[in-house]
Structure 1
């Protein structure tokens, strides 16, 4: 499951065997953190606003207290590596009392648990740094042993010796990972020493605001994953991330255990344009400019990593990453920072020809990375303000003048944006009618988001989605599907069907879920997302990415449908289109490769343990590399291309910097088998619709 431990400040550090001191004595450089008076009042405010304003209407009682206790300890120690079972037994007496504390404005127990956690880390870090001053401990890398990768169902260590053995394996794994990147023992010892000293420094910089935010977010996550408390510092970062003046790489990051992980790429941003960073990639080091020293960021606070990556437009930053689904080897990517401009995210078009076997058709493709609007120009009443709908309307007009037979609207990786734009965009393709229903926390249902004009484009339409199509994308795709206005093709979408608002607090603000989206059919877009009429091979693991991957995501449900038109009789066409699609892709080299690649990556993701035997790991990496090479060469041979002579040759071609330095990328079919196949589905759709003589606006319900 996608971790709900985003708020963890320091967790899962790869440390060594050492002695755990008594909890009664703090490490010399570690002081207990205590709440300040205003935080009690803020805690009462948060409880009150959650109970009154949140869509879920949950009451903070004993059951919620137990959930808070579980979530807080899990956010601190997700790998069950810091606390001893005796610590957990001691804390368990408070499991159903935290709700009473919060109502009384008392957060002391949250701080008590955190201070024990901080003590455990401080002791471990100080001891490991002391050991590393004399070089690496001796490890037997010929021994057959392994390290658990997923300790969610494991118990906390019952004794110091049991904890020591776990840390011995964790440090051995860290050393082995670095040995496999061809680092010497001296380099490894130096890197780990600097890593843990840095973590000690950041640990000493923790303050009561950090602890309070972590504790409160353990509560808000019980309501849903998108509600959270923002401390004054986090609020400043949040406001900066929402500003058009933000300069950086255009990536949304989150914490998972000790790593900073890429959660999402901003469409059209610098990272997106490299084509070399994917969701779930882990960032292990950051370097400034093209030759600056790489700074290890494993175990860093999320906002500190963001500060290191963020910088002025025109400067360069280097990221050392561990690509998802790989063998654990590292890749360094150079990115030129820039502002994410509206022009970079603007809709663009292209025209391609496809045949259904009998006739060729001109298919227009409009790529839409996000639902954008220049609010500042709109508020100034600038008649030329830039927006999604205005740009797509212009492109549609151009495509129709160029005589296209059908249009594909590509919403893959479109994480959403303006609800107003999603509604207005739908207006270009349907006549008057509702687009989305919104149910609020007070159970009132709003249906004001409507199409108000006659459709501008009435021809064959396809909407292309994938797992990263979310929010506004799902509203648009759901409306097109419910109206039978066009085909929806691709993968099940993200499933983010909730709306958040900001509520002011005595200190900071509360981002709180207050509404939920529903399609005109009555189905929620929450959790389940939009399911395509015709499916493409899965490229993103839905167990790792998507609303359903969050433990506390609000459930799917439905309300009453609203009266809406049905434009085409798609139900009779989809089975034939699906058969043609399956027949083509069963032998298509690119689709064979994509399916094999996903299956192989899924198998690796399911691993429960990793070997600590060096030769076994080397052999595992060699097997993985050969498997990747074999899959790629099978694809190349089937396409009449020269196979790679070695994995090194393949890797070199993959690492070559061919990505554009700036500006929006062009729409091409090369290296995009999904778009290419979508074109053939559209050609079949146009041909079948002609033969079926399917009427426009077949009926109403």
Structure 2
């Protein structure tokens, strides 16, 4: 069988396998075709078919995706990227396949243009082999679903697993991905400590311009084998400089705790991301401070989210009982997660700090604690991602698919709207970063994506158990009062300093 015939055979097997009732080939024969057909050396047509079927079956919008048109067009992209020059519009075999998939000539023509552009960008001076072409086609297809669904190649899959566990070999920083990646945090014990600062803009990595790179492409440059060196060209306060770093293993702790306030009785918990086990780290930090506390600050600023289970577990540390999250998927069945009654600090005054980069699980936590009247939310309106993704494994690759919307206990969705703080304050550090970077790039929110999933609400019988009005008034008054900076916390973080001042007048309570 010639390579071209193998491509057609593979494409036909995929379409027949995924379009119910297509053609006159028996189901047994279709299974045999899928098992025997490979795309290149390591891409199995059955695996690809199962992956696309999973996305079709599980995506939260389900049948509203124009009867599956988005995923059917994925097959066209797959065909077009494999060998677009040879797919003549009047090819009888191709037309039969497209007709069985319900795709007309106009849709095909548009897909060919998109596929050719994607191929030219990914392979400007070479022709992709069958495996690479298949991956590129899958990326094009999943991109159409919503901003948070996507195909994960080997590097992206490995990065997804690392983001869950928190371990990797790299330089130990947190960035906001943009045309010029912005350093948000430098790990105290990481390779970049003393060399990079929050607010630095990364322009080049080992001489490679990083503007316009995807997050996975950027990470592929920065991360690498332990002990190897990497040179970053950065812009700091308008000046360019080079920084030489040595990569090493980084096991990023999710939580950094600081005892602030005049008597060390204000506990600040900086939560970087919702990695696996981060709720245990928060609980450990709470239990370690056995002295009475006047208040707790849970700092979720620039926290991009992570595992839903850990977000639920963190809320559980601060409320005695009641719902934490409502979740509704394609079947429209509402699932509810309740507090387990294991609160460690259910009464100590609590502030949750958020900003425009707080997303997903951060918004779940802030919204749930706000609904329960358990916390005062301070800062900026959050990013507005109110959806849940599942990951699907395909060997050493996979996909993430948006499978549900989530809602706060009162039935609010954060999707496209975010969480509105009780006390709105600009995050001066973010403002200063943007001013120093000289970038005119506006902050992007979920609502700015063309294919962002719409938000909605759920009707619930939830009744807010307590009112925070008096506490909000007290905290706001103290925030606005002048005072010396607390040396235990970042003295340049005006918002954090104001929150610490606001809690200093509260009565001290002991964690359980």
Q: Distance in 1 between matches of 2:283 and 2:164?
A: 27
SS of equivalent residue, structure 1 residue 512: strand
Q: Larger Rg: 1 or 2? A: 1
Q: Which runs of 5+ in 1 are unaligned?
A: 1-31, 77-89, 92-96, 122-198, 288-293, 355-360, 374-386, 591-665, 691-701
Q: TM-score normalized by structure 1? A: 0.53
Q: Distance in 2 between matches of 1:254 and 1:212?
A: 30
Deviations 1:587-631 (A, max 9, x none): x999xxxxxxxxxxxxxxxxxxxxxxxxxxxxxxxxxxxxxxxxx
Q: Within 5 Å, give how 1:68-467 maps onto structure 2.
A: 100=98, 103=101, 112-113=112-113, 117=117, 203-204=125-126, 206-231=128-153, 234-235=156-157, 238-239=160-161, 246-250=168-172, 261=181, 270=190, 276=197, 278=199, 281=201, 283=203, 285-287=204-206, 294-296=207-209, 305-321=218-234, 330-342=240-252, 344-353=253-262, 362-373=265-276, 387-401=277-291, 403-453=292-342, 455-467=344-356
User: 1:543–1:338: structure 2 CA closer, same or farther, 3 Å change rule?
Assistant: same
Deviations 1:199-228 (A, max 9, x none): 98x632644544444444343333211111
SS of equivalent residue, structure 1 residue 559: coil
SS of equivalent residue, structure 2 residue 262: strand
Give the structure 2 partner of residue 184 of structure 1. Answer: none
User: 1:102–1:683: structure 2 CA closer, same or farther, 3 Å change rule?
Assistant: farther
SS of equivalent residue, structure 1 residue 38: helix
Q: Distance in 2 between matches of 1:496 and 1:528?
A: 8
Q: Is the 8 A contact 2:478 2:498 kept in 1?
A: no
User: 1:104–1:268: structure 2 CA closer, same or farther, 3 Å change rule?
Assistant: farther
Q: Is the 8 A contact 1:253 1:260 kept in 2?
A: no
Q: TM-score normalized by structure 2? A: 0.69
Q: Distance in 2 between matches of 1:301 and 1:493?
A: 23
Q: Is the 8 A contact 1:430 1:451 kept in 2?
A: no
Deviations 1:296-342 (A, max 9, x none): 5667787565433222334432212457xx86x64433444233315
Q: Distance in 2 between matches of 1:312 and 1:674?
A: 38
SS of equivalent residue, structure 2 residue 302: coil
Give the structure 2 partner of residue 554 of structure 1. Answer: 453
User: 1:251–1:433: structure 2 CA closer, same or farther, 3 Å change rule?
Assistant: same
Q: Distance in 2 between matches of 1:524 and 1:308?
A: 37
Residue 278 (structure 1) shift: 5.0
Q: Distance in 1 between matches of 2:103 and 2:174?
A: 33
Q: Distance in 2 between matches of 1:117 and 1:515?
A: 31
SS of equivalent residue, structure 1 residue 247: strand
User: 1:224–1:452: structure 2 CA closer, same or farther, 3 Å change rule?
Assistant: same
SS of equivalent residue, structure 2 residue 151: strand
Deviations 1:92-133 (A, max 9, x none): xxxxx9x95792799985785368648988xxxxxxxxxxxx
Q: Distance in 2 between matches of 1:420 and 1:118?
A: 36
User: 1:682–1:271: structure 2 CA closer, same or farther, 3 Å change rule?
Assistant: farther
Q: Distance in 1 between matches of 2:112 and 2:176?
A: 26
User: 1:460–1:304: structure 2 CA closer, same or farther, 3 Å change rule?
Assistant: closer
Q: Distance in 2 between matches of 1:219 and 1:115?
A: 10
**Partner of residue 38 from structure 1, selected from 10, 13, 19:** 10
SS of equivalent residue, structure 1 residue 365: strand
Give the structure 1 partner of residue 62 of structure 2. Answer: 57
Give the structure 2 partner of residue 571 of structure 1. Answer: 469
SS of equivalent residue, structure 1 residue 113: helix
Deviations 1:246-300 (A, max 9, x none): 31135688997xx674698797784885653559x453x323xxxxxx3556677
User: 1:367–1:242: structure 2 CA closer, same or farther, 3 Å change rule?
Assistant: closer
Residue 478 (structure 1) shift: 1.4
Q: RMSD between aligned alpha carbons?
A: 4.8
SS of equivalent residue, structure 1 residue 408: strand
User: 1:333–1:561: structure 2 CA closer, same or farther, 3 Å change rule?
Assistant: farther
Q: Which runs of 5+ in 2 are unaligned?
A: 19-48, 82-87, 90-94, 435-440
SS of equivalent residue, structure 2 residue 342: coil
Give the structure 1 partner of residue 358 of structure 2. Answer: 469
Q: Is the 8 A contact 2:367 2:408 kept in 1?
A: yes
1:516 paired with 2:405, answer: yes
SS of equivalent residue, structure 2 residue 243: strand
Residue 429 (structure 1) shift: 1.6
User: 1:450–1:66: structure 2 CA closer, same or farther, 3 Å change rule?
Assistant: closer
**Partner of residue 670 from structure 1, selected from 483, 491, 496:** 491
Residue 56 (structure 1) shift: 1.0
Q: Distance in 2 between matches of 1:509 and 1:261?
A: 26
Q: Distance in 1 between matches of 2:311 and 2:223?
A: 30
Q: Distance in 1 between matches of 2:119 and 2:373?
A: 60
| Matched pairs, number | 442
Q: Is the 8 A contact 1:322 1:331 kept in 2?
A: yes
User: 1:457–1:400: structure 2 CA closer, same or farther, 3 Å change rule?
Assistant: farther
Q: Within 5 Å, give how 1:644-655 maps onto structure 2.
A: none
Q: Greater strand share, 1 or 2?
A: 2
SS of equivalent residue, structure 2 residue 286: helix
Residue 518 (structure 1) shift: 0.7
1:680 paired with 2:464, answer: no
Q: Distance in 2 between matches of 1:413 and 1:449?
A: 27
Deviations 1:354-385 (A, max 9, x none): 9xxxxxx9423222223344xxxxxxxxxxxx
Segment drifting more, 99-108 vs 555-564 = 99-108
User: 1:429–1:39: structure 2 CA closer, same or farther, 3 Å change rule?
Assistant: same
Q: Is the 8 A contact 1:244 1:339 kept in 2?
A: no
Q: Is the 8 A contact 1:50 1:57 kept in 2?
A: no
